[in-house]
Structure 1
């Protein structure tokens, strides 16, 4: 089967670290062009404008968007209107309404649209969901704490309205939660800690309503020093489970489960699996626009009690 020509828009850290290597390693894809005002990939045709790319390269079937969420809608809409399939880095848009509009446009044009949630592809997430499927939930506790200076240095857009703040990594945890719980939950309360010199939260605590009365909570914090923490602890009527390392490590009743990917790296295999999924969607004419993780984020901003905390500076 011939590879599909794809363009990558938004050549920053996540593109270089994850998207470019995943595309290069896959027989499904040929990286045919990039779109970026500043970045480029050696040996790949570069454009600075999405409309120019679409006009000059009608042979490119798929556009993968890696830029921050705020400008992503215009790029995605342009590609869809031109009849191209579109792959969206998480979160899929700056607002839910944007995502709904993109889905309607994709259906109108008969092309594939994929809202990716890379943490769902971590090594042990699927196995965790399978273990929980026939059990009654007692509690689920998310602790997602990391050092923003380490993982997002100099990225001022995350602190501006629309940049999500600590929910940029927090939505990764929510994407796992919504994938593994047998029954959906909805947010009932939240507290958002916002630095006095920023527009988005640096920390948040969430409290969810579960249809069976289970206690489901989450704590996100971008001020973590030392060891980074990405865990989901679940208690059921038939035992306990812990997903750690962002979904790469699974422990059930104190016994660590075998890791199919071998090295316990939370990012190992995530983006290759996303691109494999996109290839299947393109071949089948399918679409995947699950917005459930983003709904929880939107509800946190709607319901959240805002607390002003000390300024944050890099």
Structure 2
């Protein structure tokens, strides 16, 4: 057994020892005094300004959850460093900008934090990424470990030891707020683009399905599966498929509904549909529309059918009232 005191001593040695050598550094701590000037309460990311390769870079995101340091290709272009030979990297980044990204390579650049005599310079390996982001640079765990820095989102600061003293860099909450807004707009734009692509793809798929599976009415024949229960079957079905289809329907005939009256509904404790209407909203009452003699006849027939089935009921003074919508079937009816 190892005593609790011995365990604590071992943990301290493991934290302070590197390659068998003790390092003598200042204790880094955060207190109430570090909250001075911080707008509370907040949930902002820690966004700072840093000097990288002799350039002052804004919108630098300190992310302790990132396993790599990231710099955007656009930032390198503005630094005139994009023509430098990048070291090849084969690792794919996941989670950056919400998608998997294949890096363009790696580059080592000097990172400077702090001011005056407490400036600290370290060489940082950055992974170059060509993607949309509201941040110019992401400082991950490798950079924070190299700086021996401790970050506190709550206090909007990072602190690190420099020559026996502790220097600090404060985050910019206004910049963090703007970056968040930009990120939301980029994500919404990407989501709309993806949804539109999915809708177009699905529309093409459905159109293809209709083109393949639609059979003209004159190419169908009515088949009685059971007394009073009929279906339409394509005339050009081969014998084996036709027999299999009819046998399947006969074996599971109680699964299907063959009339409006058989649609008895679902018990309200199982499922219930409600209209999510804003309280106090003014009821909508549309004037009755006429679709022409032929379409009005269809409307009357359909309404009468669901009325007989008990799916709807007549009311004399409706609060909400809207016209029916006629949708053409695949057959053109």
| Fold match by TM threshold 0.5 | no
Structure-1-length-normalised TM-score = 0.23
Higher relative contact order (CA 8 A, sep 6+): 1
Larger Rg: 2
Structure-2-length-normalised TM-score = 0.22
